[in-house]
Amino acid sequence: MKLLFENWRQYLTEEKASDSLENWKHEDAKKYAQELIDDYGKPDVVTDSMLLWNDRISKFKQTFVKDESIEHCCPKPHRDYVYSTMIIDVPEDKMQAIADASESIIVDQLKNEVTARCADIFANAITLGFVQKLVAGDIKPKDSKKEYEKHILNGMLPDWFKEKNKEQIDELSLPFSSQAKMEKAVKELNPEQENLFKTLKDHFKTCPSKEEFKKTIIKLVGVTAVAPGGIVYGSLPLLYNLIKRLKCYGLTEESLYYGTSTVFQEEIAKNGIKSPSKWGNYGFAEENAMKIVEKHGGEPAVIQMPLSEFKDEHFLLDESNNDIIVYTEDLHIFMEKQEKKLV
């Protein structure tokens, strides 16, 4: 009788979740809620505008998705709809640093709970891991905003985070993982994968769910192509991650970034960027710009350059960090282009 009751309750909960999602107004939140159902099973709480999982996803006390899509511009433009909560005792003297770091960190001091809100559980884990470091004293309060952006842009997941994923998607699935890693992955695609990637970029105008992605792949290349021995077998997680970065988070695979100071603006406009110069993702460039400002003054500036303006034969990997590219030729930047590229 007990088993029958539990199965009946599960049936009702699944029906309620399905009925709720049918009436949601925000497609991005709806798609992500369905992904969590696929990966973690039925939610524990269902309302007309929210699905909630208790103690089911990684180390989070709660994870819930709301029928909302909140525009958030930092550190990259995206939209928020998923919340994750952990028990973290935040002292009063760290509250302002958290407020400075992000508008999407919610602290309940009475319950010793901190909730992160973002576009997926990866970013929430990074955010809550950042809060833990700040509370522990590993991050200085005055550096909170800079360090938070660095954590997000470089996909700095905490050691405790484990994500149950049936497809075993690797670190490239992180929404703000290293730009250089993604560019490297694109370069390593075989011809069949590269052609499929180009087709998928043109096909998807908005952020696809996993289910939409799978159906599209099968429609484009057929079932045999994704089966063992098929031309794209084993590459679907990588392709999905690349498309997710492009279509869900607006990150491109076609640019590198260089950090400097406005002190050197005229010199760069006149003489270009002298070799050897170090390039990487936006987070690396911004951090490098801060260091240059501390030494030479001025304001931090980040220069974005499309890969088409680089020559492959002048690329070298930095031996101390594989995410950094050393360019061994001078780069000349005209003033009108520089004004567009300096952020």
> What's the pLDDT tens digit per position in 51-65?
999 998 989 999 999
> What's the pLDDT tens digit per position in 145-163?
999 988 887 778 888 886 5
Residue 248 in 3-state DSSP? helix
Share of the chain above pLDDT 70, in %: 76
C-alpha to C-alpha distances, 158 to 122, 132, 179, nearest whole angstrom: 10, 9, 19
| pTM to 2 decimal places | 0.53
The structural domains of the chain, with segments of one domain joined by +, span: 14-153, 171-249, 255-341
- How far apart (Å, rounded) are the C-alpha atoms in residues 220 and 206? 18
With cut-offs at 50, 70 and 90, classify the pLDDT of residue 321: low
**Looking at the domain 255-341, which fold is it?**
ADP-ribosylation fold (3.20.170)
- How far apart (Å, rounded) are the C-alpha atoms in residues 65 and 320? 40
Answer with the residue of higher pLDDT: 168 or 309: 309
